[in-house]
Amino acid sequence: MLNYAVSRVPHVASILLVGALFAVQAFAQGRLTEVQVSGSARTTAAVLSASGLKIGQPVTSKDLDAACQRLLDSVFFRGASYRYQSKAGSGGLTYLVNFDLMDETTLVQVVLDIPNTDQDQLWTKFKAAEIGRASCRERV
């Protein structure tokens, strides 16, 4: 099993391969069957939504790397890594993915102060239009 870690460094996101250095392990395309989350106060459903992954979709290592980066780009996480377990069965190859996350603790509440505008109605419109993807949806 290979582990990947992604961490936020001021103005630079770096991806580190953790585990056996120079180890070669083929990651064949398979179906994502389960996602688990550790190290975060956020729900698995919220993390799954922010990652862009969907249970049942075909995944490759590039998909998981991109999902990990999307979690960092959401600014809700200071660090993100994942592990996966594969299982071959009659339905083909399946993957269980565990995201190990470090929540960003410096989030601030946003207040919209626009004259003659109801703040709650404005947030409702933002959410309905899905502006800002993860940041304007229900709090991740």
Are 58 and 28 a contacting pair, CB within 8 Å?
no
| pLDDT (0 to 100) of residue 57 | 96
Q: Which amino acid is at 131?
A: I
Does this model's pTM top 0.85? My answer is no
Distance CA 123, CA 47 (A): 21
Q: At 114, phi and psi to the nearest 5?
A: -110, 120
Domains annotated for the chain, with CATH where assigned, are 3-107 (3.10.20.310), 108-140 (no CATH)
Pairing of strands 92-103, 30-38: parallel
C-alpha distance from residue 130 to each of 54, 76, 134, 138, 139 (Å): 18, 17, 8, 10, 13
Spell out the per-residue pLDDT of the chain, length 140, in tens.
444 555 554 333 334 433 333 334 567 899 999 999 999 999 999 999 999 999 999 999 999 999 999 999 998 999 999 999 999 988 899 999 999 999 988 867 777 777 888 878 877 877 766 544 444 333 33
